[in-house]
Amino acid sequence: MNAIIIGGGVAGAAAALALHRAGIESAVYEARPTPSDGVGAWLTLAVNGVAVLRELGVRPLAGIPTSRMQLGLGDGTALTSFPMGEGTMSVRRTELYGALLDAVRKAGIPIHHGRRIVGLETTDASATARFADGTSASGSLLVGADGIGSTVRSLLDPRAPKARYLGLLNTGGFASGVEVPTEPGLMHMMFGRDTFFSWLASGDGDVWWFANPAERREPDRAQLAGISGETWRSRLLDLVRRDDPVATRVLEASDPIHPAWPMYDFPRVPVWHRGAAVLIGDAAHAASPSSGQGASMALEDGLALGLLLADRGPTGSTTGVTAALDRYEALRRPRVERVIAQGKASSSGKAPGAFRPVRDAFLRAYFGKPRATTDTAWLWEYRIADAVNAGRAGA
């Protein structure tokens, strides 16, 4: 059995490693002409995602252990703090991509760059991808890991919905030599007067940050990418000027500031697999970045697919593969759709506009009351291998 994987990001790399562990040969086809390990600023990888990396044999990541989060208002009011799961790490995107690519290369899995998929034919027994350069590739399985703008998704289901724009942008960066009143590893989330701003001290003099300025109308990504970092600095400084001065100090000390991009999610993708082709990661389900689970869900998908296909039987029969894809969707869909709903709820208070006083009053009242500990076990303590084994026992 062999697989062709469309997309060389987090989901695609995880799938390649998991399939390799299951004894399935694969090759990765990436649209970008060069590796994308230098794209983006940073992300927080929840403990459930870190556990997948460990299971896949990926080297430990260098980053900031991020064990707690503190929520507050722009005027400096602290609302609440809570644990994020022991083992959660904030890492530069270059570090995560680099570690995954190192593992893929070490496993001898080929990566073909400059291969943009434009066509797909699939039966229950095989799938063929056609690329813009005129080449093609065939396999007994095709894995669509080509992100939120997935071509594979639209080829599998021309009626597939488009991603939902959330009315927010995302930008971020790194500040050096700035003093902030915090402890290393405590992530601050500030619901400011005019924008949402978050920062995290590394402990060595650097501060990592991101901001979610509101943008009601969906912008053009190419136009956003053309806006300089200095222009974004000026805009963001204006947005935080009435908030906690920490935000201003961090922005002034940042270089560079990464271009902003629109935030999306996918409430529900109807078709996850057809024939011998299957979607994983953001191609199948995209949670708002506010969920803090995007990369972790992609990693879980890749490992789940590999573990379930390992049960396909010694011959890798068509029936066995189809059954594995059915089990994959049944296992993953309820969990990721719960994460998507949580991420949408987390995004809703970031762009209050004229309703900011109402939002702030609600947050003060909500977090001012004694509450039972929030149940996070379903999110952070979840382990793919345990879920797959539970499914085997119940089959």
Q: What torsion do the CA atoms of 349, 46, 44, 80 make, to the nearest 10 degrees?
A: 40
How are beta strands 111-113 and 25-30 bridged, if at all?
A: parallel
The answer, yes or no, to whether residue 47 has pLDDT greater than 90, is yes
Q: Which residue has the higher pLDDT, 131 or 255?
A: 131
Instruction: Give the pLDDT band (50/70/90) at residue 317.
Output: low
> CB-based contacts of 258: which residues, under 8 Å, 6+ apart?
40, 41, 171, 172, 173, 229
pLDDT, position 184:
87
Residue 281 DSSP one-character state = G
Structure tokens at 102: 């190192």
Closest CA to 279 of 291, 268, 290: 268
* Structural domains of the chain, ranges and CATH numbers in brackets: 2-163+266-394 (3.50.50.60), 165-264 (3.30.9.100)
Query: What angle, 0 to 180 degrees and rounded to 10, lies between the N-to-C axes of helices 294-309 and 10-21?
Result: 20
Closest CA to 268 of 250, 290, 292, 284: 284
The answer, yes or no, to whether residue 50 has pLDDT greater than 90, is yes
Quote the distance between the C-alpha of residue 86 and its chain's center. Answer: 19
Quickly count helices (H) and strands (E) in the chain: 12, 20
Instruction: Give the pLDDT band (50/70/90) at residue 255.
Output: confident
pLDDT, position 203:
84
Q: What share of the chain is helix, strand, coil (3-state, %, to 5)?
A: 40, 25, 35
Structure tokens at 216: 């009601």
Quote the distance between the C-alpha of residue 246 and its chain's center. Answer: 27
Q: Which residue has the higher pLDDT, 318 or 264?
A: 264
pLDDT, position 149:
94
- The helix or strand, by DSSP H or E, that contains position 303, with its residue range, turns out to be helix 294-309
Instruction: Tell me the C-alpha to C-alpha distance, in Å, between residue 351 and each of 167, 216, 348.
Output: 8, 9, 7
Q: What is the mean pLDDT of residues 302-307?
A: 97
| pLDDT one-digit tens code per residue, 164-176 | 999 999 999 999 9
Q: What are the b/e assignments for 266-286, b being 16+ CB within 10 Å?
A: beebeebbbbbbbbbbbbbbb
The answer, yes or no, to whether residue 26 has pLDDT greater than 90, is yes
Q: Which residue has the higher pLDDT, 364 or 209?
A: 209
The answer, yes or no, to whether residue 127 has pLDDT greater than 90, is yes
| pLDDT one-digit tens code per residue, 271-282 | 999 999 999 999
Closest CA to 46 of 56, 61, 30, 36: 61
pTM over 0.75: yes
- As a three-state string, the secondary structure of 104-171 is HHHCCCCEEECCCEEEEEECCCCEEEEECCCCEEEECEEEECCCCCCHHHHHHCCCCCCCEEEEEEEE
Q: Mean pLDDT across the chain, nearest whole number?
A: 91
The answer, yes or no, to whether residue 394 has pLDDT greater than 70, is no
Q: What percent of the chain has pLDDT over 70?
A: 95
CA contacts within 13 A on the Cβ side of 287: 24
Is 86 exposed, middle or buried (CB count within 10 Å of its CB: 0-12, 13-18, 19+)? exposed
> CB-based contacts of 170: which residues, under 8 Å, 6+ apart?
210, 211, 212, 260, 261, 262, 263, 289
The answer, yes or no, to whether residue 38 has pLDDT greater than 70, is no
| pLDDT one-digit tens code per residue, 192-216 | 999 999 999 998 889 999 999 999 9
